[in-house]
Amino acid sequence: MPSTLHSEAVASTLNRLLAAEERQDLEAAFADAGIDVAGDFPIELSAADLAERTKDIIMSVSREGGQLLYLFTRAVKARSVVEFGTSFGISTLYLAAAVRDNGGGQVITTELQSDKARRARENFAAAGLGDLIDLRLGDARETLRELPGTVDLLLLDGWPNLRLPILNLVQPRLRPGALVIVDDIDLDIGRDFNQGFLDHINDPANGYLSVRLPVHMGVQMCLKLG
């Protein structure tokens, strides 16, 4: 049975978005936004300020990373998925395609920047997956406070300094055996907030088993124990 990922609507939407991402001159785009792409994550900017400055930049999971999301969402038969950091919705499409093939459910995703959220919604409609996606406009620290039932899979792909606060916010909803997937874990390595996140998930007392996969800029896979 073919995967929803390979349906014409989903494949063409993903191809269009990933091609647009490849055409970007990322260094120039970040420089225009006043951000030194080779430098440290600009922790001095608020989440909203940084989202505003980068509102036209596509910075999604890689194609391989997206396929990994699809694969793991299928493998744990996730029907309840939460995502921190929608952007244009590329990762969300991989997650929602897998939820469709798992028999249906919901992907709750959240984005701070309103233009990006609007464009993500257009992409969800173009892919025919909008019925599975609840996109919450606003700051994840507020928008993810209310979650229905338990969560089977959480993707952390918003600003890296907020990974741990968002994990702790969603953690009471994670079922035993749930997966937490973190994209771009190699970015900002050595910074206190990144080390704090890694220390947290690698401390068995916190109830996770975690391993880094060498995909794109590093994907951290965490299993909720229990």
Q: Which residue in 30, 70, 159, 208 binds ligand SAM (CB under 6 A)? A: 159
Beta carbons of 80 and 150 less than 8 angstroms apart? yes
Per the DSSP assignment, residues forming a β-bridge with 80 are 106
Q: Give me the long-range contacts of 71-77 (CB less than 8 A, separation at least 24).
A: 71/98, 72/153, 72/179, 72/181, 72/221, 73/98, 73/99, 73/102, 73/153, 74/98, 74/101, 74/102, 76/152, 76/153, 76/177, 76/178, 76/179, 77/102, 77/152
Q: Which stretch binds ligand SAM (CB under 6 A): 24-32, 99-107, 135-143, 190-198?
A: 135-143
The first and second tokens of residue 178, run together, are 């749930």
Residues contacting 223, CB < 8 A, separation 6+:
177, 178, 179, 180, 208, 209, 210
Residue 181, phi-psi category: left (phi > 0), alpha (psi -120 to 50), beta (remainder):
beta
The first and second tokens of residue 209, run together, are 């088993």
In the block, tokens 């609840």 appear at 134
Closer to ligand SAM by Cβ: residue 95 or 178: 95
Q: Which residue in 14, 140, 185, 201 binds ligand SAM (CB under 6 A)? A: 140
Q: Which stretch binds ligand SAM (CB under 6 A): 3-11, 81-89, 125-133, 190-198?
A: 81-89
Q: What residues numbered 40-79 form the site for ligand SAM, per CB under 6 A?
A: 47, 51, 59-61
Beta carbons of 185 and 138 less than 8 angstroms apart? no
- Site for ligand SAM (CB under 6 A): how many residues? 22
CB of 37 to ligand SAM, least distance (A): 13
Closer to ligand SAM by Cβ: residue 133 or 140: 140
Closer to ligand SAM by Cβ: residue 159 or 197: 159
Contact track, ligand SAM, 90-129, x by CB under 6 A:
xx------------------xxxx--x-------------
Q: Which residue in 95, 123, 157, 221 binds ligand SAM (CB under 6 A)? A: 157
Per the DSSP assignment, residues forming a β-bridge with 219 are 183, 213
CB of 194 to ligand SAM, least distance (A): 14
CB of 5 to ligand SAM, least distance (A): 15
Closer to ligand SAM by Cβ: residue 207 or 216: 216
Interface residues with ligand SAM (CB under 6 A)? Answer: 47, 51, 59-61, 85, 87-88, 90-91, 110-113, 116, 139-141, 157-159, 162
